[in-house]
């Protein structure tokens, strides 16, 4: 009987030990599976991609999406100087192509995924009485645009060149509009606050930059298609991404029905995968 009891105690001890070891292995395994996905994203996508990130994390509990939002040119420069995100989402094909040419991108993963257009915005009280493009050259109108290097500033200048080529406006109009520019911003996220605070009378941004929360502060005025410039947004995976599988999964989510619905809600035009 004593021998039997001793054997039973040994067996129970071994079972407890095995259970502890199994629990320890499970905890280690779970921790190892947790991944942080770093996504460098154009500032104009801040609201949409913040929501997309939350939705993606809700479906993928072992993945955390870490965004860096800034102007596309600033993000490109950071990558060229050594930053290594998993994904780059650009508001301009120009900055994406520069990284592709430099060998930073896995070119097979780079693809355009949405479009955007410019819009004219004014404060809700509209003290300068700006109701369209024809008012932007009036003396005293305070206008905010993007710098030449950021996509929305580049597209604004392309739009003004279209207007300059139209005899109804001409080069004099373009020059007068540029003379009314009081501030050139490096990211669209800083534009709406300037109008809301009364620092400017009008601004040229993306149509998606006016969210539902902004409608009590600014009014969006459509720019005629003949003068507008369509922005194409590409995204892709970095060549040195340490999380290739997770990056592919996230991009598939962005381009899938859930991601596309969020982008559409924010005023973008998703390009079908």
In a domain, 13, yes or no: no
Computed over its alpha carbons, how large is the radius of gyration of the chain? 26
H or E stretch covering 122: strand 111-123
Our measurement of the distance from residue 225's CA atom to the centroid of its chain's CA atoms, rounded to an integer in Å, reads: 24
- Reported as a single tens digit per residue, the pLDDT across 244-265 is 999 999 999 999 999 999 999 9
Q: Do 105 and 177 have their domain in common?
A: no
What's the mean pLDDT in 39-61? 94
Q: Do 147 and 221 have their domain in common?
A: yes
Of 188, 182, 234, 226, give the one whose Cα is nearest residue 207: 188
Using 50, 70 and 90 to split pLDDT, how confident is the model at 30?
A: very low
In a domain, 78, yes or no: yes
- Do 113 and 67 meet the contact criterion of CB atoms below 8 Å apart? no
Q: Do 128 and 218 have their domain in common?
A: yes
77's CB contacts (< 8 A; 6+ apart) are none
* Size of the chain, expressed as the number of residues it contains: 273
Q: Do 66 and 109 have their domain in common?
A: yes
Q: Do 173 and 110 have their domain in common?
A: no
Q: How many domains does the chain have?
A: 2
Q: What is the pLDDT of residue 3?
A: 47
In a domain, 8, yes or no: no
Q: Do 224 and 125 have their domain in common?
A: yes
- Reported as a single tens digit per residue, the pLDDT across 190-223 is 888 899 889 999 999 988 887 777 878 899 999 9
Q: Do 166 and 149 have their domain in common?
A: yes
Q: Which has the minimum average pLDDT: 8-12, 29-33, 191-195?
A: 8-12
Q: Which residue has the tokens 């080069």?
A: 171
Our measurement of the distance from residue 74's CA atom to the centroid of its chain's CA atoms, rounded to an integer in Å, reads: 13
CATH for 152: 3.40.190.10
In a domain, 25, yes or no: no
Predicted model pTM: 0.74
Q: What is the pLDDT of residue 234?
A: 98
126's CB contacts (< 8 A; 6+ apart) are 201, 219
Q: Do 142 and 213 have their domain in common?
A: yes
DSSP state of 134: G
Identify the domain containing residue 68 by its residue range: 34-115+231-270
Q: Do 184 and 80 have their domain in common?
A: no
């Amino acid at each position: 009987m004593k021998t039997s009891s001793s054997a039973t105690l040994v067996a129970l001890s071994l079972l407890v030990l095995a259970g502890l070891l199994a629990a320890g292995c499970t905890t280690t395994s779970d921790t190892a599976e947790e991944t942080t996905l770093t996504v460098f994203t154009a500032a104009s996508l801040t609201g949409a991609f913040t929501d997309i990130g939350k939705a993606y994390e809700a479906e993928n509990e072992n993945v955390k999406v870490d965004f860096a939002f800034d102007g596309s040119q600033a993000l490109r420069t950071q990558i060229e100087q050594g930053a290594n995100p998993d994904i780059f989402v650009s508001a301009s094909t120009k900055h994406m192509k520069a990284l592709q040419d430099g060998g930073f991108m896995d070119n097979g993963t780079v693809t355009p995924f949405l479009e955007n257009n410019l819009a004219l915005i004014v404060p809700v009280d509209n003290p300068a009485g700006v109701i369209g493009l024809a008012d932007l050259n009036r003396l005293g109108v305070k206008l905010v645009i993007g710098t030449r290097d950021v996509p929305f500033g580049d597209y604004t200048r392309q739009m003004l060149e279209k207007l300059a080529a139209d005899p109804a406006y001409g080069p004099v109009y373009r020059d007068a509009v540029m003379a009314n520019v009081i501030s050139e911003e490096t990211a669209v996220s800083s534009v709406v606050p300037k109008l809301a605070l009364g620092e400017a009378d009008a601004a040229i941004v993306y149509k998606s930059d006016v969210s539902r929360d902004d409608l009590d502060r600014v009014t969006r005025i459509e720019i005629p298609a003949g003068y507008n410039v369509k922005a194409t947004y590409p995204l892709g995976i970095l060549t040195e991404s340490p999380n290739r599988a997770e990056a592919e999964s996230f991009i598939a989510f962005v381009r899938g029905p859930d991601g596309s619905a969020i982008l559409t809600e924010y005023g973008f035009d998703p390009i079908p995968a």
